[in-house]
Amino acid sequence: MEKSFIENALPTIADALANNLSNSRFHVIQQDGNGGTPFKFVLTELMDIFRDRMEGVASLKEKPE
């Protein structure tokens, strides 16, 4: 499963990000020494979306039939 993700899904995600962010601009504001890179910002946002979607899948599995 991990190999499939790396070989199939990850390149698709990278292409989608590159296409969607190709003309975007954003500012990184550093506060209290805890600033981050633009890549870290995008990765954090993607992980939040992924967690939200996985919680939905997990709740479907928990429902009794």
DSSP letter at 36 equals -
Can you give the residue ranges of every domain in the chain? 2-62
- Closest Cα to residue 41, out of 19, 21, 22? 21
> Residue 27's pLDDT band (boundaries 50, 70, 90)?
low
Asked if 41 and 26 count as a contact pair (C-beta separation under 8 A), the reply is yes
> Residue 29's pLDDT band (boundaries 50, 70, 90)?
low
What pTM was estimated for this model as a whole?
0.41
Q: How does pLDDT run across 42-51, given as a tens digit for each residue?
A: 888 888 888 8
Query: How far from each other are the two terminal CA atoms of the chain, in whole angstroms?
Result: 27
